[in-house]
Amino acid sequence: MSANESVDGNAQETVDEIEHVKPEEIENDTAKISRRPVRQKQIPARLNDYEIMTDNAVNDKGGIMHFALLAETKLVNFEEAVKNSKWLGAMKEEMRSIEKNNWELCILPKGKKTIGVKWVYKVKVNPKGEVVKYKARLVVRGFLQRQGIDYEEVFAPVARLETVRLVVAHASLQGWNLHQLDVKSTFLNGDLEEEVYIDQPQGFVKEGSEDKVLRLRKALYGLKQASRAWNKRIDKALINMKFIKCI
C-alpha cells in the first residue's frame, strides 16, 4: 500500500466515525454546554464616566473605534510635581527612605562617571477608582550603565508559577495558614558590590555641595543589578531563618 493510500484510509476512518455519531449524543453535549453558568461582567466604577464600546465599533460619526492602552493618569514631570503639595510630599518620603543608609555624598573619583536619575510619578487607586496614594520614585537611568564597570552579574531567580501553585495546594491539603509578605521599597535593601555613582536628584541638590555626587551603597530602582542584589540579601536572610529553598 502506498503512503497516499494509507493517509486516505485513515481520513476515511475519521469521516466514518463522524458520520456514525448518534444524534442523542450531540443533544446531550449541547445540553451540558447550555447548563454552564454565565459569567456576569461588571464595568469598573472608575469607567462610569466613559462611553464603553466594543473593538471595531462604528460611532455616530462613522469612525471605527479601536481599543487602546489607557494610562491611569496623565504623565507628570518634575516642574509640575514641585508645585503640587501631594507630589512634593511623595518625593520627600522617597528621599527619607533612601537617605537612611543608601548613599553618601562625595567628590567623583578621577576616571569615574555618574549615572543620571529621574523622578517617576504614579497615582495609586483602589478598585473603586478613588485615589489612595501619590507615589514618587527615584529611578536610575540604567541604560547608561556599562557592563564590567557599573555592574557584573544581573541574573536573579524568580518563583515559577508552578511552584506557587504547588505551595498553595500543599498548604490547603495540610490545612495550613498562608501569609504574604510585602517589603516596602524592596530594591532599596539590596547591597551593592560595585562602585556606582549617581547625580544628585533634581530638587534635592545639597546647598554648598552642588559639585559633589552620590555613591550608592544599596541598589535603586532602574539599576541593572537591583534584582540580583535584593535576591542575594533576602535569600541569605531566609536561609539564616532555617527556611529550605524549593528545588
* Single pTM value for the model: 0.61
pLDDT surpasses 60 at 119 = yes
Domain total of the chain: 1
Instruction: Determine the Cα–Cα distance for residues 198 and 9; give it in Å rounded to an integer.
Output: 72
Does residue 72 belong to any structural domain of this protein? no
Residue 216 · residue 192 · CB < 8 Å: yes
Does residue 96 belong to any structural domain of this protein? yes
Determine the pLDDT at residue 246.
78
Does residue 117 belong to any structural domain of this protein? yes
pLDDT, greater one: 57 or 127: 127
pLDDT > 90: percent of the chain: 34
pLDDT digits (tens, 9 = 90+) for 137-186: 999 988 888 888 888 888 888 888 998 999 999 999 999 999 988 887 78
* Highest mean pLDDT out of 34-38, 129-133, 179-183, 192-196: 192-196
Determine the pLDDT at residue 7.
47
End-to-end CA distance of the chain: 52
Does residue 52 belong to any structural domain of this protein? no
Chain centroid to Cα 178, Å, comes to: 22
Does residue 119 belong to any structural domain of this protein? yes
In sequence order, what are the beta bridge partners of 131? 125
3-state helix, strand, coil in the chain (%, to 5): 35, 15, 50
Does residue 41 belong to any structural domain of this protein? no
Determine the pLDDT at residue 189.
86
Range of the domain at 164: 78-240
Classified as helix, coil or strand, 104 is: strand
